[in-house]
């Protein structure tokens, strides 16, 4: 070891001795303090003009002082690792609950602002996937773009049954062939791309234990292709849970809300569970209180939706294609709502993205009451907010079931964090 290197080691040891001394001076005995100060002074003097052997001896003496008066450093064991993981998990859950909660867009009700699970059919499925859709590139493409190539092929002869209700698998329809299940994007089904022969409505006849609507089709042969194409995952959005602690929800915000929220109620089984709007009632022990989980009437509790906020408490809302009217005045000057009102049908005779409509094309009646299902109707909001999808021809929203109470609104959408697409970044 060269003399220059030894002097660098002496300088580093001096700094270490000084640091330990400064941190522990108040608890060290005077003789220990004196030993540290003497070691530091000796190293400083020998670093400048001392002989190599003397400097090496001073280094050894300084290290001995450290070893005697500082506890040994234990290597982290399994307990420390578990504690670290538990703390990290707790911090992540707190961050999720109180700051930024992730939310996946499952359907196309907010297109083209946000996309749910969507697909593009293969133009030449017999040629198979392209280079980037083959191994080993396929997982890397999915990590960046969320796109995954699927080739749905019958694995045996059998009858096809299509479950068209997407509530149990949002964004998909379910095919069964000879007991084998396949998931196909719902938009592919809507476009008529499924290669199933002679589809006929079947109701619940083919599966009496399942309430989902179905259609039965003819028999397919083994290795017959039912659909092929690229499926892209729905946009992943961060919801800002903190924002509305300081500001009120604003018109044109893209908001996430829950279909139910717990409410406190007193006496007689929670005032008969808040006049029987409950989905569940829990008695709080030793208190005359009940916790009532009250859903939006007609909607299943515990679900989450993402929509654009168009109506505020106390306002009267009406829809006259392609605009929304508030208290009889056309809404203009808001970027998101103006963009929706300016949209044109995506294709000749198409219905997607065509401005604001009263109700969609599905023919679903409002759940109850008189909501926005004809142009001459209006809806006066009480203490609630009215959300609507940007793709109003294909959106299950407040036009069908009314407003959302403030406690059920979680926060505005902040940004799309995955996948990487033209929609990536802050929501607009």
DSSP 8-state assignment for residue 404? B
Q: Are residues 255 and 268 in the same domain?
A: no
Q: Are residues 255 and 178 in the same domain?
A: no
Q: Are residues 41 and 165 in the same domain?
A: no
| Predicted pLDDT at 380 | 93
| Predicted pLDDT at 344 | 80
77 within a domain of the structure (yes/no): no
| Predicted pLDDT at 206 | 47
| Predicted pLDDT at 88 | 86
Q: How many domains does the chain have?
A: 4
Q: Are residues 363 and 331 in the same domain?
A: yes
Q: Are residues 315 and 422 in the same domain?
A: yes
Q: Are residues 372 and 289 in the same domain?
A: no
Q: 39-60: b or e for each residue (b if 16 or more CB lie within 10 Å)? A: bbebbeebbeebeeeebbebbe
Q: Are residues 207 and 223 in the same domain?
A: yes
**Alpha-carbon distance 337 to 317, whole Å?**
14
Q: Are residues 183 and 240 in the same domain?
A: no
- Looking up residue 390, the CATH number of its domain turns out to be 2.10.109.10
Residue 45: name the closest of 32, 27, 33, 57 by CA: 57
Q: What's the 3-state SS for 263-298? A: EEEECHHHHHHHHHCCCEEEEECCCCEEEEEEECCC
Residue 5: CB atoms within 10 Å: 9
Query: pLDDT truncated to tens, each residue of the chain (428 aa)?
Result: 677 888 888 888 888 888 888 888 888 888 888 888 888 888 888 877 777 788 888 888 888 888 887 766 555 567 778 888 888 888 877 777 678 888 899 888 899 999 999 999 999 998 889 999 999 999 999 999 999 999 999 988 988 888 876 556 778 888 888 888 888 988 898 888 988 887 777 654 444 445 556 777 888 899 999 999 999 999 999 999 888 888 899 999 999 998 887 666 666 666 666 555 556 666 677 667 766 667 787 787 778 899 999 999 999 999 998 999 999 999 999 999 999 999 887 665 566 788 998 876 655 666 666 688 788 889 999 989 999 999 988 888 999 888 998 888 999 999 999 999 999 999 87
Q: Are residues 310 and 399 in the same domain?
A: yes
Q: Are residues 161 and 288 in the same domain?
A: no
| Predicted pLDDT at 208 | 44
Burial class (CB in 10 A: 0-12, 13-18, 19+), 88: exposed
| Predicted pLDDT at 295 | 75
Helix H or strand E segment including 340: helix 335-341
Decide if 254 contacts 428 (C-beta within 8 A): no
Q: Are residues 343 and 369 in the same domain?
A: yes
Decide if 278 contacts 297 (C-beta within 8 A): no
- What 3-state class would DSSP assign to 355? coil
Domain that holds residue 167: 118-232
**Alpha-carbon distance 194 to 183, whole Å?**
11
Residue 365: CB atoms within 10 Å: 10
Q: Are residues 125 and 272 in the same domain?
A: no
CB within 8 A of 269, min separation 6: which ones?
281, 290
Domain finish residue from 30, 47, 69: 69
| Predicted pLDDT at 118 | 92
């Amino acid at each position: 070891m060269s003399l220059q290197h030894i002097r660098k080691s002496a300088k580093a040891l001096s700094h270490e001795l000084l640091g330990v001394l400064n941190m522990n001076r108040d608890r060290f005995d005077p003789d220990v303090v004196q030993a540290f100060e003497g070691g530091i002074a000796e190293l400083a003097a020998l670093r400048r003009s001392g002989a190599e052997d003397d400097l090496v001896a001073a280094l050894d003496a300084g290290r001995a002082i450290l070893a005697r008066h500082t506890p040994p450093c234990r290597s982290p064991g399994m307990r420390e690792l578990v504690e670290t993981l538990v703390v990290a998990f707790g911090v992540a859950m707190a961050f999720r609950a109180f700051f930024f909660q992730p939310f996946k867009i499952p359907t196309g009700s907010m297109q083209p602002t946000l996309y749910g699970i969507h697909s593009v059919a293969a133009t030449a499925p017999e040629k198979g996937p392209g280079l980037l859709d083959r191994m080993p590139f396929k997982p890397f493409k999915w990590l960046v773009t969320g796109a995954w190539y699927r080739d749905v092929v019958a694995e045996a002869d059998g009858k096809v049954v299509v479950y068209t209700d997407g509530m149990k698998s949002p964004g998909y329809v379910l095919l069964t062939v000879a007991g084998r299940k396949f998931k196909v994007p719902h938009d592919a089904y809507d476009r008529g791309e499924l290669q199933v022969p002679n589809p006929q409505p079947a109701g619940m006849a083919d599966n009496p234990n399942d309430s989902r609507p179905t259609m039965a089709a003819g028999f397919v042969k083994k290795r017959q292709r039912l659909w092929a194409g690229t499926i892209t995952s729905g946009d992943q959005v961060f919801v800002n849970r903190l924002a509305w602690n300081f500001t009120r929800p604003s018109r044109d915000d893209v908001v996430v809300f829950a279909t139910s929220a717990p409410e406190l109620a007193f006496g007689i089984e929670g005032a008969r569970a808040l006049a029987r709007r409950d989905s569940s009632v829990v008695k709080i022990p030793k208190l005359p209180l009940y916790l009532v989980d009250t859903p939006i009437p007609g909607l299943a509790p515990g679900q989450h939706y993402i929509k654009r906020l168009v109506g505020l408490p106390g306002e009267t809302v009406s829809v006259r294609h392609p605009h929304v009217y508030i208290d009889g005045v056309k809404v203009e000057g808001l970027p998101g709502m103006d963009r929706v009102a300016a949209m044109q049908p995506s294709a000749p005779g198409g219905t997607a993205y065509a401005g604001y409509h009263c109700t969609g094309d599905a023919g679903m009646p409002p759940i109850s009451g008189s909501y926005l299902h004809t142009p001459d109707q209006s809806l006066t909001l009480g203490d609630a907010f009215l959300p609507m999808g940007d793709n109003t021809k294909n959106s299950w929203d407040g036009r069908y079931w009314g407003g959302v109470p403030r406690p059920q609104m979680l926060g505005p959408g902040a940004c799309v964090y995955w996948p990487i697409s033209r929609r990536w970044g802050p929501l607009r």
